[in-house]
Each structure stands twice: as C-alpha cells, then as structure tokens.
C-alpha cells in the first residue's frame, strides 16, 4: 500500500491543480502558508501536539488539526504522548491544565463561562508551550478554530494572548426545511437532511455542516420548517433526528424541532389541541419524554402558532403564553426550552400588521415561563430589505426575547444577488431602543446586558442547501459567517467580520481584500436603493418575493403592495403616525415623538412612517419624487460598480469562483435595472412628474414589466 502513496499524491496534486474551487470548503479552506516564518512556527507547533485528555470533542480537534496541517504544511501533524518531552502545542480544558495556570489566570478563564476559551503561550521550566484552553471540551474546540483562523489569515502571533467568550447563550440556525426536502424560501438546492435515507445512511455533509457551524460558535439548530409537519414527532422520525443529534453533540450543537400545535389531533387521535386540556398536556409530555429517551440533550421546540394560518392556542380561546407554557411544562423536567415566535400575522386583522405582535405580546409580559423565549424578527413587517428595529424590543421587561434574522435572502435577491447582510444586522443591533433605560440597544436586549435576561438567543433562518457551495451564491457564505460571528458577539463590527471572511475565503492579496470589502460593504445599501428606497417596503411580487410587483392587487386587503406604498396622485408612503395607523407609538417616546415629524425621521425610514407629497422637500433640497428617482438610479449604478470592481480581480481569483460571481453580478445588474425601470414607471403614473435630469431614463413600458416573470421561482411556499 505504502508505495502507492506518491502516485496518489501526484494524482491528487494534479487534479487539485485543474480542479476548480467549487466553494465547498467554505472559510475552512486551509491553503499552504505563504510566509516562511509563519510556516516554520506552525510546523513546530504541529510537530508536537499533546492532548490533556480524551473525549469526542478532542477527537474532532485532532481531525481538524490534521486537515489543517495537510492544508497549511502538506504533511500530517505529529503527536506527543508526553506533555513536556517533544510537546509544543497543548490542548485541554482549564481544569486539565490548572497546574500550569496561576490562580488568578484560572479565575480569569473561568469567568469567561462554559464556552469561553483562552489561547496563548505558557512557559514551563524555561520552555514555551502554546496552549489552547477552553472551559469545556467544546470551548477548547472553539479555541482551536480561532487558532486555525489566525494562521489562515496570517495573523497568528504566539506572544499574544487571546481570550473570548459567547455573549449570547443560544446561537441558532433555523432551517425552514420540509420533510420532502424542499426548503421554504431556500434558494440553494434541496434540504441537506436526507430524511428518506436516515437513520441508516449518514451523509458526510452532516459532519462538514457541524464543523462549519462550530467554527463560528453556532451551538443550536432547528431542523425543520416553522410551517411544521407533525410527522417529525413520530418515533421513526425521532430515530432519524437522533442520528443528527449524535453527530452534532461533540461539536457543541444542540438539536431543536418545530412543533405543530395541532399534533395532538393529527397524530394523537384527540379532538382538541387545547393547551389547558389534560389529555393534550399528556400527549405532549409523552412525546417529549420519548424524544429525550433518544436524545438526552434535546434543545426543545420552535413554534409558529396562530400566524399565516398555522394552528395555535387562539382556536381554543387561549393566548400565546398559555400555549407556550403548556409545552414549556412538558420540556422543563428535561431542561428543554420553548422558542415561541412573535411573527404573528392573522388574516383577519385588517389594521396595520406592523402593530400585531406588540398588541398580542405586550399584555402577556411576565406571563411566560422561564424556559420560554419569544423569538422576534428584526423588524415588524417581514425581513424587508431595510426595516427599523421591531418595537417589541424594549417594550417588554419580563419576557425573554430572542432575535430572528433571515440569512436566506428571501427579499434581498435570494441566491442570485450579492448582498452582504452584516451591515444590515449591525444597523439593527446597534439601534437604540431607549427602553427600559436610555442607553439600551437591541444588542443589549439580545445578549442580556441591558435586559438582564438569562436565556438569550439569536436565530438566523438558514441559507444552506444541497448546492455544492452550500449557499447558492458564493457570497451567501459570508452571510452564514457574519450571522455566526454576530450571534457570538452582537457588538462586533460588520466591517471587521467582512475582512475576516474575505481573508479566510480569498487569501492574503491586498487588492483582493480592498475591492471585495468595498463590494460587500456597499451591497446592502445598493439593494435597498434599487428595490425599496427611503422606507418603502413590500413592493415585491406576491409569491416569489424576488422581483418587483408594486402594482400587485388582489388577494387579502392587508397583503398587497398597494397597501404598503399607498401611492396616489398626492403622494406616497404609509402614515404610521397618530394621524395614520399609530404604529409609531409602539416605540419609546424618544423615538415616536421625534419621528412623528418627517423632518426628524431618518430619511431611510421616511416612507415607512409618513405619507408625503411628491414635492415634499428632502434634506438634499430635491423633491421626494426626484430623490426616489436618484435612489433607484444610484442603486443600479452601485450594482454596476460592483461588477467593475470584481472584474479587476480576474487574474487574482481562481477562474471558477471568479466566473460564478461575475455571471451572477451580471444578472444582478439586470435585476437592478428591472426594479428601477418598472418601479419608476409605475410610480410616475401617480406622481405625474418628469424624471430628474441626472438619471438614466427608465426604458420600456409598464405593461411589459407587469408580466409574470418568475412563475417557477424556487423556495415558494406551497399552498399559499
Ligand atoms: C415569510 C415567508 C414565509 C414564512 C414566514 C414566517 O414568506 O415563507 O413562513 O415568513 O416567518 O417571510 O413564518
């Protein structure tokens, strides 16, 4: 066998050379170290690894170090069986290494919490050992990933100590994956959960998925769609879930499932799902016990109830707290939790849907059990290109609130357009809520520093699928990455995170960095401009949510684009001040009093809160109509500029990834033009004014743009 190795290596190198980079390896693509000095240091460290114990997480660390060593140095690492002799790199927990850490140092590491870690050099009897130390084996895995990232991004320095800890307890991906492997609002292929072949067949992807998440500190995953199918609670499905949970455990990832509220009727042969009914309570208790029998560290349930037609406690005259607490009671003996979504849209309510969550949840403040978290979308409408923060943040004091971001770009060009979401999330997280105290931010509520809640959560609706590069668009990976990093620390800067991702994904070249960073940091604003500038929202086509549809009529009165933009011959925008729906009053008075005046409302939210005349004077001195035109046109120009920048990198990026992104940027420009032209032509029918001189005049006629362009767009919710 041995003498075949050179041949295999040759083949590997050869195919490696011509093989395109398909993006599968994500940000964990350990490329050869280019700097001789760093290579020397890393080579020494990898030539004497000593593990202070044995456990499944250390097995994973070992595998990761081997992968990294092969990538960085093109050789396997060597291990030392003895901690001093021949050892250079120590891997262990704080307890395992306690004799080498002074009391003060131990206390400092301990204070970082269960998932906190420290890495740095320990000098013992004159010799240096580089140590990766966590407060738990999983935290040591986090230290390892951080150490490897520093090598990959050429920033490793043995003389610098680094410690870090999670600011949010649950850092969670929400998969909207159906049991038939379609993914609601998923644009990168099918679900990676192969339910049909589980539990017998274990797709190696499950492991790479877990590695990627652990490398970001993501520690929880809900496997199934919030529009839930009760079957996932069947014993045979739980056997399948168990396989995934067993794989994920040593990576520190806990599994959650979505619970369909009507499951007692659908699978328990009961006539009711009333949360106060004894039999219903027993049904859930038995299901939960069965799940914990198979998966002792099961996380709990994520629930969408009484929203968009999903069953819930309202059918029985009970409220959200009664529904959530019933499930919480079943889960609490096992340490499980309920994540109850505040995204509640009922068909009946025909007043401003912006207000519904606050109306339903504020009166229930203090009524939820301790093991319930209410998961709130970042804004009150629905993952729009830009929304002001959700007014529920800051409005309740005794309810655990968690954040729900959407990583999958349902309303932001899906997997076709390059839109870096880090900046959008940062804008939300850094928003001041002014409640309960003047300095409160959304981030401070999410991580508990302002809200003082113990159970904290940040969830992201996943953009992952079976596409070879996981996320459809290569840059979708940056959103998965940024989500993980902001969930770990909601105060991190989106710019810094983008720099990190670029280095890990594209290597070290300065021009590559600066150009890609520029593209990423301008991309969100560009998309907002060519889709829904100045606070406009929900102008997209009815079912696919991809292209423009500001003209869409019909269906439920509260679900049309017309309902949101309210354009007429006098003006445009949604009056949410007291002369309109009054939704603005759901914010703290510092905000509501100020923003009731359009002149004091940030212009990016202007038409979100105000209906204004076409000739309304903007800060620039332009009229509102002109400014709308300039924004749409500016968005198109930035999209073009993104491609110009990208094309300058042609010889510095491998051709596969270059061409993948280049082609998609081409489509993005066309879409941006389509959005601009159709929206401006449409709004002009109300405004009845000429386009501003300086913009490119929209071509074509409106009827052309109104044709159904995306009848078979992916990810559309069935039966809706
Ligand atoms: C909307 C999606 C829909 C989801 C819903 C939700 O269009 O597919 O079911 O959110 O979050 O954005 O429940």
The full set of domain ranges for the chain reads: 26-164, 170-506, 529-574+611-706
> For helices 510-531 and 494-506, what crossing angle results, to 10°?
130
The protein residue whose alpha carbon is closest to atom 2 in ligand 1 is 185
Q: How far apart are CA 580 and CA 660, in angstroms?
A: 46
Task: Report DSSP letters for 244-307, one per residue.
Answer: HHHHHGGGT-EEEEE--TTHHHHTT--S---TT-HHHHHHHHHHHHHHHHH-TT--EEEE--SS
Of 329, 382, 654, 662, catalytic: 382
Q: Which of 224, 342, 410, 720 to mutate to test the pocket of ligand 1 (most atoms within 8 A of CB)?
A: 410
Q: How far is the CA of 673 from the centre of ligand 1 (A)?
A: 27
Rounded to the nearest whole angstrom, what is the distance from the C-alpha of residue 16 to the centroid of ligand 1? 41
State yes or no: is 308 an active-site residue: yes
| Nearest ligand 1 atom, CA 225 | 9
347-352: long-range contacts (C-beta < 8 A, 24 or more apart)?
347/308, 347/309, 347/556, 347/558, 349/558, 350/557, 350/558, 351/581, 352/574, 352/576, 352/580, 352/581, 352/582, 352/583
The tokens 């300065």 sit on which residue? 510
**CA within 13 Å, CB half, 609:** 27
Position in ligand 1 atom list of the atom nearest CA 185: 8
Query: Which residue CA neighbors atom 12 of ligand 1 most closely?
Result: 382
Q: Which of 382, 402, 540 to mutate to test the pocket of ligand 1 (most atoms within 8 A of CB)?
A: 382
| Assigned fold of 26-164 | Chitobiase; domain 2 (3.30.379)
Q: Name 616's Cβ contacts closer than 8 Å, sequence gap at least 6.
A: 571, 598, 623, 624
Residue 119: HSE in the Cβ half-sphere, 13 Å Cα cutoff: 22
What is the CA(43)–ligand 1 centre distance, in A? 49
- Which candidate in 184, 360, 410, 426 is catalytic? 410
CA distance 431 to 515: 28
Residues 6+ positions from 591 with CB-CB distance below 8 Å? 434, 584
What is the rounded distance in angstroms from the CA atom of residue 550 to the CA atom of residue 561?
5
- 164: annotated active-site residue: no
Half-sphere exposure of 455 (CA within 13 A, CB side): 19
Q: Residue 461 CA: which ligand 1 atom is closest? A: 11
Which CATH superfamily does the domain covering 529-574+611-706 fall into? Alpha-glucuronidase, C-terminal domain (3.90.1330.10)
CA of 477 to the centre of ligand 1 (A): 21
Nearest protein Cα to ligand 1, atom 1: 382
Active site residue 360: no
Q: Which residues pair with 255 in a beta bridge?
A: 221
Residue ID of nearest Cα to ligand 1 atom 11? 343
Q: Give the relative orientation of helices 278-294 and 320-331 as an angle to the nearest 10 degrees.
A: 40
What is the C-alpha R_g of the chain?
Answer: 26
Tell me the two tokens of residue 114. 């269960």
Please report, in angstroms and rounded to a whole number, the separation of the first and last CA atoms in the chain.
58
How does DSSP assign 192-231, residue by residue?
S--TTTTTT---THHHHHHHHHHHHT--EEE-S-SS--GG
Residue 466 CA to ligand 1 center (angstroms) comes to 21
Among 717, 718, 719, 720, the mutation site with the greatest number of ligand 1 atoms within 8 A of its Cβ is 717
DSSP structural state of residue 122: E
Specify the pairing of strand 127-134 against strand 117-124: antiparallel
Q: From the centroid of its chain, how far is CA 46?
A: 34
- Give every residue of the chain whose pLDDT is below 70, as ranges: 1-19, 347-350, 554-559, 717-720
Q: Locate the ligand 1 atom nearest the alpha carbon of residue 406 and give its number.
A: 12
Q: What is the CATH number of domain 170-506?
A: 3.20.20.80
At 558 the pLDDT is 53
How far, in Å, from the CA of 67 to the mean position of ligand 1? 39
Pocket probe for ligand 1: among 177, 184, 375, 381, the residue whose CB has the most ligand atoms within 8 Å is: 184
Q: Which of 186, 224, 226, 308 to mutate to test the pocket of ligand 1 (most atoms within 8 A of CB)?
A: 308
Helix 422-429 to helix 510-531 angle (10° resolution) is: 70
Going from the Cα of 351 to the center of ligand 1, the distance in angstroms, rounded, reads 19
Question: From the centroid of its chain, how far is CA 74?
Answer: 34
Residue owning tokens 């049309």: 560
Task: From residue 67, give the alpha-carbon distance in Å to each of 28, 73, 500.
Answer: 10, 10, 20
CB under 6 Å to ligand 1: residues?
Answer: 184-185, 226-227, 304, 343, 382-383, 410, 717
Looking at 81-204, list the stretches that DSSP marks H as alpha helix, in order from N- to C-terminal side.
103-110, 137-152
**Tokens 């050992």, located at residue:** 129
Write the pLDDT tens digit of every residue in 453-468: 999 999 999 999 999 9
Which CB contacts under 8 angstroms, 24+ apart, belong to 307-314? 307/341, 307/343, 307/344, 307/345, 307/346, 308/227, 308/345, 308/347, 308/720, 309/347, 310/226, 310/227, 310/228, 310/260, 310/261, 311/260, 311/261, 311/262, 311/273, 312/261, 313/261, 313/274, 313/275
Distance (Å) from CA 306 to ligand 1 centroid: 13
User: Is there a shared CATH topology between the 26-164 domain and the 170-506 domain?
Assistant: no
pTM of the complete model: 0.96
Element housing 328 (H / E): helix 320-331
CA distance 450 to 434: 11
Residue closest to 374 by CA, chosen among 442, 427, 324 = 324
Which contiguous run of DSSP H or E holds residue 443?
helix 442-446
Q: Which two tokens stand for residue 623?
A: 């009229």
pLDDT of residue 14: 40
pLDDT of residue 707: 83
Ligand 1 atom index nearest CA of 304: 13
Task: Give me the pLDDT at residue 55, please.
Answer: 98
pLDDT of residue 12: 43
Q: H/E/C letters for each residue in 519-588? A: HHHHHHHHHHHHHCHHHCCCCECCCCCCCECCCCCCCCHHHCHHHHHCCCCCEECCCCCCCCCCHHHHCC
3-class state of residue 617 by DSSP? strand
383 CA → ligand 1 middle, Å: 9
Out of 308, 362, 641, 662, pick the active-site residue.
308
Which atom of ligand 1 is least distant from the CA of 545? 7
């Amino acid at each position: 066998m041995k003498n075949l190795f050179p041949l295999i290596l040759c083949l590997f190198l050869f195919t490696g050379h011509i093989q395109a980079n398909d993006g599968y390896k994500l940000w964990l693509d350990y490329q050869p170290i280019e700097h001789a000095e760093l290579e020397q240091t890393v080579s020494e460290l990898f030539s004497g690894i000593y593990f202070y114990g044995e456990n499944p997480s250390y097995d994973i660390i070992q595998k990761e170090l081997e992968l990294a060593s092969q990538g960085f140095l093109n050789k396997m690492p060597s291990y030392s069986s003895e901690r001093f002799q021949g050892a250079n790199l120590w891997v262990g927990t704080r307890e395992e290494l306690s004799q080498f850490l002074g009391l003060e140092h131990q206390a400092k590491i301990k204070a970082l919490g269960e998932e906190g870690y420290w890495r740095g050099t320990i000098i013992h009897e004159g010799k240096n050992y580089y140590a990766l130390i966590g407060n738990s084996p999983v935290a040591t895995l986090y230290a390892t990933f951080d150490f490897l990232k520093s090598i990959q991004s050429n920033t490793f320095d043995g003389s610098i100590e680094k410690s870090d800890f999670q600011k949010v307890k649950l850092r969670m991906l929400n998969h909207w994956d159906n049991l038939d492997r379609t993914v609601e609002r998923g644009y990168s292929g099918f679900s990676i959960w192969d339910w049909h072949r589980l539990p017998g067949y274990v797709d190696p992807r499950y492991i790479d998925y877990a590695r990627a998440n652990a490398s970001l500190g993501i520690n929880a995953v809900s496997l199934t769609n919030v529009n839930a199918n009760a079957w996932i609670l069947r014993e045979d499905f739980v056997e399948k879930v168990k396989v995934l949970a067993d794989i994920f455990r040593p990576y520190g990832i806990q599994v959650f499932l979505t619970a369909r509220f009507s499951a007692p009727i659908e699978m328990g042969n009961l006539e009711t799902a009333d949360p106060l009914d004894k039999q219903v309570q027993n049904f859930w208790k038995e299901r939960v016990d069965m799940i914990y029998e198979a998966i002792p560290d099961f996380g709990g349930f994520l629930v969408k109830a009484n929203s968009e037609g999903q069953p819930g406690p309202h059918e029985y005259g009970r409220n959200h707290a009664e529904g959530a607490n019933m499930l919480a009671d079943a889960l609490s003996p096992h340490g499980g939790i309920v994540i109850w979504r505040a995204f509640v849209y009922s068909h009946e309510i025909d007043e401003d849907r912006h207000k519904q969550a606050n109306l339903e949840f504020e009166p229930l403040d203090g009524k939820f059990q301790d093991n319930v978290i209410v998961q709130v979308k970042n804004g009150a409408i629905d993952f729009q290109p830009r929304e002001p923060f959700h007014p529920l943040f800051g409005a309740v004091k005794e309810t655990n609130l968690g954040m729900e971001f959407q990583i999958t770009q349902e309303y932001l060009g899906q997997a076709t357009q390059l839109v870096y979401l880090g900046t959008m999330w940062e804008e939300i997280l850094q928003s001041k809520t002014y409640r309960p105290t003047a300095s409160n931010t959304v981030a401070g509520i999410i991580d508990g520093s302002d809200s003082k809640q113990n159970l904290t959560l940040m969830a992201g609706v996943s953009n992952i699928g079976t596409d070879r590069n996981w996320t459809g668009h290569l840059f979708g990976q940056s959103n998965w990455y940024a989500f993980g990093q902001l969930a770990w620390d909601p105060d991190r800067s989106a710019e810094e995170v983008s720099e990190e991702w670029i280095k890990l994904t594209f290597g070290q070249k300065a021009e590559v960095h600066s150009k890609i960073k520029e593209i990423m940091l301008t991309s969100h604003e560009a998309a907002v401009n060519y889709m829904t500038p100045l606070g406009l929202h929900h102008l997209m086509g009815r079912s696919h949510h991809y292209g423009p549809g500001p003209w869409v009529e019909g269906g439920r009165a509260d679900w049309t684009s017309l309902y949101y933009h309210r354009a007429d011959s006098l003006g445009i925008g949604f009056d949410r001040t007291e002369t309109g729906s009054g939704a603005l009053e759901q914010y703290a008075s510092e905000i509501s009093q100020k923003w009731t005046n359009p002149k004091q409302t940030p212009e990016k939210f202007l038409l979100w809160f105000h209906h204004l005349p076409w000739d309304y004077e903007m800060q620039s001195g332009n009229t509102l109509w002109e400014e709308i035109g300039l924004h749409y046109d500016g968005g198109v120009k930035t999209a073009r500029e993104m491609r110009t920048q990208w094309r300058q990198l042609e010889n510095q990026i491998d051709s596969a990834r270059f061409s993948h992104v280049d082609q998609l940027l081409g489509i993005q420009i066309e879409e941006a033009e389509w959005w601009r032209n159709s929206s401006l032509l449409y709004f002009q029918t109300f405004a009845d004014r000429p386009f501003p001189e300086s913009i490119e005049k929209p071509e074509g006629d409106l009827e052309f743009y109104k044709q159904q362009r995306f009848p078979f767009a992916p990810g559309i919710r069935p039966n809706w």
